[in-house]
């Protein structure tokens, strides 16, 4: 398969479309956890119950589809190859838990991949809406509509006092997890994240890196999300997160301005060195690739680099993960082989940019 075709198939709308504040906010996500009253939760339910839940959702879709979403595709985890599951995971369309540990797990996916409804994850139903840029309210509205549509035929486990009942008490109440993925190179370069993260934690929000392990935030990409699901309305949870994200956006913008003022040439040097590494290396580890991609994206946002499309960061952060590299290679790769593949995929992708502009 040609790289162009591979990329076109691999890219979901949240990675390529331009959203509000997309120079800093890569994507906005809403997740609602729901359970059906008559069945035991997934940690204890029987195979029959698990199958019945899938049937119930399937019937709902067949009975009256949710017109806004177009055709929905049902993917059964049991009938997917490990690599296919890995790729869905790397695109953030399913969770690692659904891919690896679920019993009769399934996923109902909208055509543009903005909506994915996970079935038999930690809860019976997890509605996920993933929008490009800073669009939390839009994503929440969409999730609410899907929720209402599903509820027309499913008796949810709901308690007047404590709300939607979930498998884990950390999700009870609204069952809502709202999160925003942000690219914050300015705050990292000016060493401000160590100060900012505890301050945000104090507000009941969690900040973490989404690529890399432990305390790393590869590619300077952070996810900010709510921790509390009980006692606040969905709108208030989203608003509280939005106000913190807005503050982060303006702090990131002023950090970039300060960098441009105080170390313009150093920054420009850094950006172009990273561009050089990406367009010339023959072996590259994910950590170095992520750092260079972050630099190049910053360079695009700050107009040092003018002829590369912005979504290169989103796209290549996803496409250079192990699952995608192996899918592109058409078979399993050892770590060292991946580093070679990663380098060549990035080089080819950057060449495509040149051709598009030339032609």
Residues that bind other proteins (CB under 8 A): 35, 37, 39-41, 43-44, 95-97, 122, 144, 147-148, 151-152, 155-170, 172-174, 176-177, 197-198, 201, 204, 206, 208-209, 213-215, 225, 227-234, 237
CA distance 64 to 315: 34
To the nearest whole angstrom, how small is the minimum distance from the Cβ of residue 144 to other proteins?
7
DSSP state of 111: T
* Count of CB atoms situated within 10 Å of the CB of 201: 12
CA distance 292 to 75: 35
To the nearest whole angstrom, how small is the minimum distance from the Cβ of residue 23 to other proteins?
25
To the nearest whole angstrom, how small is the minimum distance from the Cβ of residue 202 to other proteins?
10
To the nearest whole angstrom, how small is the minimum distance from the Cβ of residue 169 to other proteins?
6
Closer to other proteins by CB, 130 or 176: give it: 176
Residues whose CB is less than 8 angstroms from the CB of residue 124 and which lie 6 or more positions away in sequence, other chains included: 34, 35, 36, 39, 41, 42, 53
Q: How far is CA 146 from CA 28, 110, 137, 189, 324, in A?
A: 17, 12, 14, 40, 30
Q: How far is CA 43 from CA 104, 124, 126, 229, in A?
A: 12, 10, 15, 21
Closer to other proteins by CB, 223 or 281: give it: 223
CA distance 310 to 127: 29
Closer to other proteins by CB, 132 or 219: give it: 219
To the nearest whole angstrom, how small is the minimum distance from the Cβ of residue 218 to other proteins?
12
To the nearest whole angstrom, how small is the minimum distance from the Cβ of residue 347 to other proteins?
32
CB 97 within 8 A of CB 66: no
Number of Cα atoms under 13 Å in the Cβ half of residue 107: 29
To the nearest whole angstrom, how small is the minimum distance from the Cβ of residue 148 to other proteins?
6
Closer to other proteins by CB, 25 or 98: give it: 98
57-79: burial string, b at 16+ Cβ within 10 Å, e else: beebbeeeebeebeebeebebee
Closer to other proteins by CB, 236 or 356: give it: 236
Closer to other proteins by CB, 234 or 288: give it: 234
Closer to other proteins by CB, 77 or 346: give it: 77
């Amino acid at each position: 398969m040609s790289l162009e075709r591979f990329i076109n198939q691999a890219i979901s709308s949240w990675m390529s479309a331009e959203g509000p504040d997309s120079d800093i906010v890569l994507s906005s996500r809403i997740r609602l956890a729901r359970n059906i009253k008559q069945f035991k939760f997934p940690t204890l339910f029987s195979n029959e119950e698990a199958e019945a839940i899938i049937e119930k959702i399937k019937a709902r879709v067949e009975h009256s589809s949710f017109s806004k979403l177009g055709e929905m595709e049902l993917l059964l985890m049991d009938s997917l190859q490990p690599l296919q599951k890995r790729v869905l995971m790397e695109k953030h369309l399913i969770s690692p838990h659904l891919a690896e540990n679920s019993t009769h797990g399934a996923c109902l996916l909208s055509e543009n991949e903005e909506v994915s409804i996970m079935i038999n994850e930690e809860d019976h139903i997890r509605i996920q809406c993933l929008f490009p840029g800073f669009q939390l309210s839009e994503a929440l509205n969409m999730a609410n509509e899907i929720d209402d549509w599903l509820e027309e035929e499913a008796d949810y486990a709901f308690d007047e006092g404590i709300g939607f009942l979930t498998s884990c008490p950390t999700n009870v109440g609204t069952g809502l997890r709202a999160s925003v993925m942000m690219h914050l190179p300015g705050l990292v370069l000016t060493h401000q994240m160590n100060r900012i993260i505890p301050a945000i934690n104090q507000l009941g929000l969690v900040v973490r890196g989404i690529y890399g392990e432990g305390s790393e935030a590869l590619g300077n990409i952070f996810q900010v999300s709510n921790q509390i699901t009980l006692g606040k309305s969905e709108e208030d949870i989203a608003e509280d997160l939005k106000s913190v994200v807005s503050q982060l956006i303006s702090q990131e913008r002023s950090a970039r301005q300060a960098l441009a003022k105080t170390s313009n040439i150093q920054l420009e040097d850094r950006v172009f060195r990273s561009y050089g590494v990406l367009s010339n290396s023959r072996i590259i580890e994910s950590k170095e690739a992520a750092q260079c991609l972050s630099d190049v994206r910053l360079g695009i946002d700050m107009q040092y680099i003018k002829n590369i499309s912005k979504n290169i960061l989103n796209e290549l952060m996803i496409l250079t993960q192990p699952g995608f590299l192996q899918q592109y290679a058409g078979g399993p790769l050892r770590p060292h082989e991946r580093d070679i593949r990663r380098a060549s995929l990035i080089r080819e992708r950057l060449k495509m940019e040149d051709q598009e502009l030339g032609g």
